[in-house]
Chains A and B, each alone.
Chain A
Amino acid sequence: MISIITLISVILLMLGSFFFIAGSIGLNRLPDVYTRLHATTKCDTLGQSLILLGVMMYEGMTFTSLKILIIAGFLLIANPTGAHALAKGAYLSGVIPCENTEPDEYRDLCAEVDDDLAA
């Protein structure tokens, strides 16, 4: 006999694994570093949160569950921050986006700032 809590936690675990698999496919198949970052960051953040939520529901109301909640909340803040810094660092180091990336707003913004400084 499977309790309803275990069933919900297993469903959350499978959903999280699905998002992890989608993120890894995106990491290996997309053309340049910005699209790879886009795929892995969103899929990994959501998959991590779902898996940790499933483990919390399996564990119940204990102190360990509180620790897992702290990790999940921290990763929800930290993962997008790291991805943002990484994208900016990749752009500043001179990695060119693939040719389908048409509106390059950061380049236009930099050109505008340079024009303002020159004037």
Chain B
Amino acid sequence: MMPGIWQAAILVIAALILAAMIRLFAGPTAPDRVVALDTVNTLTIASMILLGVIYRQLIFVDVAIVYALLSFVGTLYIAKYIGGEL
């Protein structure tokens, strides 16, 4: 039942990661790059869960939990560092 549409969604997410990479390299200021990095993290979590459920590699879901926690902590630390509060 509609086997190709999940793989198509993963391809769309991969293309959007590339689109966020443009901003990551071209962003004029440092906060622009951090915003792009946060977007890449969110897209990576979504693609990890899709890959894990479609190909029945359920360890990917556990990895996605840890990735979400670490990316949140990393974004908070970088934001505090940019604001000069650290």
Contacts and interface: CB of A to CB of B under 8 A. Distances in A.
Given A10-B5, A52-B46, A82-B75, A59 B53 contact: yes
Interface string B15-29: 010011011000101
Contact of B65 (A27, A28, A67): A67
Contacts of B36: 27
A18 B6 CA distance: 14
Contacts of B42: 44-45, 48, 75, 79
Interface in A43-99: 44-45, 47-48, 51-52, 55, 58-59, 64, 67-68, 70-71, 74-75, 78-79, 81-83, 85-86, 88-93, 95
A24 B39 contact: yes
Contacts of A13: 5-6, 9
Contacts of B85: 89, 92
Contacts of B45: 48, 71, 75
A101 interface: no
Contacts, number: 144
A74 B1 contact: no
Q: What class of interface size applies to chain A in its complex with B?
A: 35 or more
Interface residues of B, number: 47
Contacts of A52: 46, 49
Given A2-B2, A52-B46, A52-B49, A85 B35 contact: no
A27 B79 contact: no
Contacts of A2: 1-2
Nearest to B13: A20
Contacts of A90: 29, 31, 79, 82-83
Q: Top 3 closest A-B pairs, CB basis?
A: A89-B83, A90-B31, A92-B83
